[in-house]
Chains A and B, each alone.
Chain A
Amino acid sequence: MTCASDVRRAALRRSTRVRHALWAGSLLVSGAAQAQLGAAIAVESDNRFRGVSLTDGRPDLRLSVSYDHASGVFAGAAATQVEFMRGRHALQLLGYTGYVARVTPELGAEVGVTSSTFGGNTRYDYSEIFTGLSNERWSLRAYYAPRYFGFDQATVYLEVGANTVLMPRWRAFGHVGALRTLGGIEGEAGRRTRADLRVGLGFSAAAAVDVQLAWVTASRGGPYVVEYGARRSTFVLSAQASF
């Protein structure tokens, strides 16, 4: 059983590397006349992912690149610092690609896949597929991960997000999501589902600099990467500069 599991993990890592190579290839198609290639650097006081801290409540730095083609194909990659346990830092490399089509001039329908690999501890590597609808003001998405953070448990995540302009340069945003395990082990406190909420204010400090202050909270339940010791609710301050 153990041997079969290791073989399966190795095959999964190989396929992950192939996908990463494909995404890198797609990023190199920047010579296409209608492509838009962007980059950003962000700092935040806590790396909260779906309500859960991936840095044990500590600040993190993120570098990212994004690519959009006029055909609707999009892709990107990000490097983020994570700290599942205090003092044990790792680098999360996240890649994604997808396709978005305009259902109406304002509304887009999308489908795509993300994949994460963790430098120094690849057992957390995982992939996720997603689909959704979004426009300038709101988004509705569903995600499915066959092995969420590398564990033998499939998850589905549903989220709704919205934002509105309060005044020039100021915006309010909100997000609510629910992560549920599908079979396998039960989550924290015997609950399969964990809900998270993020609300806050965004400010465009300059043409390419945005600052956010958000309040993030999560319920008990659902899967965790490790034993979780960070606070359930916290304020997160972040700033992003785009290039």
Chain B
Amino acid sequence: MRALVRRVRGGLRAAIVAALLVTAAAHAADTTPLAPDAAASQQVLVLLNLPPQHYRPDSNYAGSYADAAGRAARRRVAARLAREHGLAMDSDWPMPLLGVDCFVMTVPPDQSPGRIAQDLARDGRVAWAQTMNVFRAQGHDDPLFPMQPAARHWQLGALHDTVTGRQVRVAVIDSAVERTHPDLQRAIELSEDFVAGRAVPAEAHGTAVAGIIAAQADNGIGIVGVAPQARVLALRACWQQAGEATLCSSLSLAQALQFAITHDAQVINLSLSGPPDALLARLLDIALGRGIAVVAAVDRGAVGGGFPAAHRGVVAVADTPSLPAAAAAVIAPGRDIPTTVIGARWALVSGSSYAAAHVSGLLALLREARDRRGVAASTVAAVPARDLVLLPDGRIDACASLSRVAGPCSCDCTAANAGPTVARQ
């Protein structure tokens, strides 16, 4: 009976998510290239003194009507200021309660709004000037965020109040990531193709993995990555076969691993599995020795979870606590995960590949927290996964993990995951 209820719930959830995916895709088509916050970040507010109301015998008896000439005078002053500082006038708003007229001006892209505001503030004609600040409502506005399992189980919104993976480099060694996807285009720092002779613009698996790790937050579309401000190195070492199978080779993986290590990746995501490989094992040891966190997906059909998940020091990740394929595997969300797919769309995916992507994102958050506290990378080099705090069934307690690294955070660790937690050894 419980299984039936679970299935019905799962089906309903999948249907709701599917409807939202369609909405999100439609919304993406309407997305303008320049977000309002981007425009605002280049604007300054220039406040000119509004003289107190007074008698104007040349006008009639209509209060602020009589000050029309004064308004025009202030517009002229503002236009002159804009010309002198090379700004573009956007709009103006009288603010009689403050005794000022507020003029909005746009600063050229090659100039600093802060410096322009300082220059304007020193002008005797200006009451004061300031940059246009952007404020955000608490909580993500991405429509699929409430449907992401990590939003609920990992309290992702609360984690992001503390860390977002800012400037942490995550190498996604996978198939081709769609760089132009509206939820990814700002996250990808660079992309390289190590698959000889099979160049393609985008493939499904890599695009889905990258979205879970670093999809942009608060852009009003799609999902929120676990580490939405991480910098993704999209390294194509795998290619998509007919029937959706995605394959990689030792050589392409080795080239990509080497690239990731030499380009200072701090987390390497390997949502793939295969036989033990000496070349790759050596490169993995180098990466782990340099303090890079390496995350791999568990293959439940392979002995010990497969390679590289079974490699010592690699964080092995499975997607369900009911069938742990490897004793050392941690459990992360991996069923019915909304994520980015090719064609600027979103879809549901399932599998340990996507559970691994969750953990890569989480380790990026923990890395940022460590960096903020000034903990040297070398102290975590040997066991980057030691920061992960697990529940007895192997699921990751994301809040407790962050609290362990960053100190008490704004999330309530006990609310999401009742019961004792244990540190991973």
Contact = CB atoms under 8 A, between A and B. Distances in A.
Contacts of A155: none
Interface string B51-85: 11111111111111100111111111100000000
Contact of A139 (B63, B68, B69): B63
A135 B53 contact: yes
B243 interface: no
Contacts of A108: 52-54
Contact of A40 (B53, B69, B76): B69
A66 B70 contact: yes
B336 to A, nearest CB: 48
Contacts of B63: 134, 136-139, 161-163, 171, 173
B125 interface: yes
Nearest to A161: B61
A208 B71 contact: yes
Contacts of B55: 96, 98, 110, 112, 130, 132, 134, 139, 141
Contacts of B65: 163, 171, 173, 202, 210, 212, 240
Given A98-B55, A105-B99, A132-B55, A68 B60 contact: no
Contacts of B420: none
A228 to B, nearest CB: 20
B60 A238 contact: yes
B124 interface: yes
Interface residues of B, number: 34
Nearest to A44: B60
B71 to A, nearest CB: 7
B62 A36 contact: no
Contacts of B58: 40, 62, 64, 66, 76-78, 80, 94, 96
B408 interface: no
A242 B72 contact: yes
Contacts of B99: 102, 105-106
Contacts of A72: 51-52
A137 B60 CA distance: 14
A70 B51 CA distance: 7
A175 interface: yes
Contacts of A173: 61-63, 65
A198 B60 CA distance: 10
Name, among A68, A72, A110, the residue most crowded by chain B CB atoms within 10 Å (CB to CB).
A68
Report whether over half of chain A's contact residues are helix, strand or loop; otherwise say mixed. strand
A34 interface: yes
A229 interface: no
Contacts of A70: 49, 51
Name, among A34, A74, A208, A212, the residue most crowded by chain B CB atoms within 10 Å (CB to CB).
A34
B97 interface: yes
Given A36-B77, A102-B99, A66 B56 contact: yes
Contacts of B74: 36
Interface in B361-375: none
A39 B73 CA distance: 8
B108 interface: no
Nearest to A39: B69
B51 A36 contact: yes
Nearest to B49: A70
B242 interface: no
B29 interface: no
Contacts of B97: 105-106
Contacts of A141: 55
B98 interface: yes
B51 A202 contact: no
Interface in A185-240: 198, 200, 202, 207-208, 210, 212, 214, 238, 240
Interface of A: 33-34, 36-40, 42, 62, 64-66, 68, 70, 72, 74, 76-78, 80, 94, 96, 98, 100-102, 105-108, 110, 112, 114, 130, 132, 134-139, 141, 159, 161-163, 171, 173, 175, 198, 200, 202, 207-208, 210, 212, 214, 238, 240, 242-243
Interface of B: 48-49, 51-65, 68-77, 96-99, 123-125
10 contacts: A33-B125, A38-B70, A105-B97, A132-B55, A134-B52, A136-B96, A161-B63, A173-B65, A208-B71, A243-B72
Given A34-B124, A40-B72, A134-B63, 19 more contacts: A33-B123, A39-B72, A64-B58, A66-B56, A66-B73, A100-B54, A101-B52, A105-B98, A136-B64, A161-B62, A163-B63, A171-B62, A173-B63, A198-B60, A210-B65, A212-B65, A238-B60, A240-B68, A242-B69
